Amino acid sequence: MRDRPDAADLLATARKAVLDELVPLLPPEAQYVARMAANAMAVALRELGTAPADEAAERRDLRVLFGRDADTADVADLSRRLAREIRSGRHDASAEVHAILLADVRRRLALCNPRAIESPPA
């Protein structure tokens, strides 16, 4: 059984303290750095919540290309393999690879800049 607070609770509390308590006390030139730290905490919080699902989705996507190898191989190794194959020109006209890369970008944006996903460019 896990104790509370967990990592997500601690990060959320620290982020709130930085934004609510520290930023107002800092000189303007230091506020930007504090807000960047708070934003990094927000990204970490989102990643804590989605990491298992994101890795499973990435593995499913890579299984389309690499078959059963994707079931046991490290996802990072498979991603590097895909990158090597893309650099070699192997997937230049592949709609499957395009879809996999697009899904990966969307997952990354959902972590780093969720507003970019919520409001597509005009």
Domain span holding position 108:
7-118
Q: Is residue 86 part of a domain?
A: yes
Give me the pLDDT at residue 16, please: 97
Does the pLDDT at position 106 exceed 80?
yes
Residue at 2 is within a domain: no
Q: Report how far residue 90's alpha carbon sits from residue 79's, in angstroms, rounded to the nearest whole number.
A: 14
Domain membership of residue 84 (yes or no) is yes
pLDDT confidence of residue 27: 96
d(CA 71, CA 7): 29
- Residue 66 falls within a domain, yes or no? yes
The confidence score (pLDDT) of residue 10 equals 92
- Rounded distance, CA 57 to CA 62, Å? 9
Distance CA 41, CA 1 (A): 25
With H, G, I as helix, E, B as strand and everything else as coil, classify residue 67: coil
- Is 1 a member of any domain? no
Distance CA 78, CA 80 (A): 5
Rounded to whole angstroms, the Cα distance separating 8 from 45 reads 6
pLDDT(3) > 80: no
C-beta of residue 78 within 8 angstroms of C-beta of residue 66: yes
Amino acid 45: pLDDT: 92
* Percentage above 90 pLDDT, the chain: 64
The pLDDT value given to residue 96: 93
Report pTM.
Answer: 0.72
The secondary structure element, H or E, covering residue 21 is none
In a domain, 42, yes or no: yes
What's the domain count of the chain? 1
Task: Read off the tokens for 79.
Answer: 């991603």
